[in-house]
Structures are given as C-alpha cells and as structure tokens.
Amino acid sequence: MLARAFHDDPVLSWACPNERRRPAHAERFFAARLRQLLPYEDVWTTEALDGAAIWAPPGEWHTSLRATLDFLPATFAGRAVHRLPIVLPGLARIDARHPRSPHMYLSVLGTDPAAQGQGIGSALLTPVLRQCDEDGVPAYLESSKERNVAFYARHGFRVREELALPRGPQMWLMWRDPH
C-alpha cells in the first residue's frame, strides 16, 4: 500500500527515477523502515490497511550505523545502486537538519491512492498528536510534496525550513509544538 501511495512522490522518484522499478524499490524501502521502527510500537494503520503512519518516539528517529548499512542494500538493490552517490548526500542533508531536541517523528504517512481524500491521513495522525499535546511533546516531519504542506498545517505543523536535495526536489521540514 505504501509503495502505491508514494509512487508519484518527488523524493522517491528522485531516488528511483525508473518508473518500472520504483514499486519494488519502494516496497523494499518501506519494509526496511517498518522493520526499524516497528519495535517502538508507534505504527498506526486502518483496519482495511489502506493507510499507515509510522512514527519514531523521542530520541529514536536516528538509526544506528549498523541499521543504516542494513537498510541500504535492501533499499538500493540491483540497478538502483548507481543512485547512491546522489541519494546519500541528500539523505545526509535531511539528517543534518533534523531537530535534536526531543520530539515525535512522523517518518511515513501514506494512504492508498484509491482511498485518498477520505480523512484517513487525519485519522492516523490524531491519536499520536493528541498524545503529544497531553505529554507536551513536539512533533516533526519532512514533507516531500508541496501540496501536503497545507494538510499538515491543518494539524498544527509549520514549515521550519525548505530544503533542496542535490539535483533533486524540494522538501518542507515541518515542526509542531504541542497544543
């Protein structure tokens, strides 16, 4: 589902420009990210599995060197490996801008294209953002689509910075203070 949700994503398209290979690349990427963050038990889905939100709790957004090294072969298998010299500096740029203060990190939010516009994304965000408000914990995300900035703004996120990836798309780094 996440591979379908992100098929037209500018950052995924930049990392894997081959449209035929992109679904398999995306499936490996999201499976690897899920394996990294599932132990923290902040993964939310709908009953129909047509939407998912993958969060990292405060202090756990950054993966270890070993996890990153395990992550790269799974993500950049086969012919996509030639993109590493472009993608790795971009990922490093994103990582360098990631806030160091404690926060909940929305790593992934996706809705199956057939179910978009039905409130699934908002429903998946609500329980974690409510908990952030109750606990006084901020939240952070990186939006890879400009059209999603307004969606996240409705949930209290504000753009902290715009970031251009090397020979790639723009990203919007967004922060939400607890309400």
The domains found in the chain, sorted by start residue, are: 2-176 (3.40.630.30)
Give how far the C-alpha of residue 2 lies from the chain's centroid of Cα atoms, to the nearest Å. Answer: 10
CA distance 158 to 136: 17
Q: What is the pLDDT of residue 174?
A: 98
pTM to 2 decimal places: 0.90
Residue 140: name the closest of 67, 60, 29, 69 by CA.
60
Give the Cα separation of 49 and 52 in Å (integer). 7
Tens place of pLDDT per residue across the chain (179 aa): 999 999 999 999 988 888 998 898 899 889 988 988 999 989 999 999 999 999 999 988 876 656 666 656 655 555 556 777 777 788 888 888 999 999 999 999 999 999 999 999 999 999 999 999 999 999 999 999 999 999 999 999 999 999 999 989 999 999 999 99
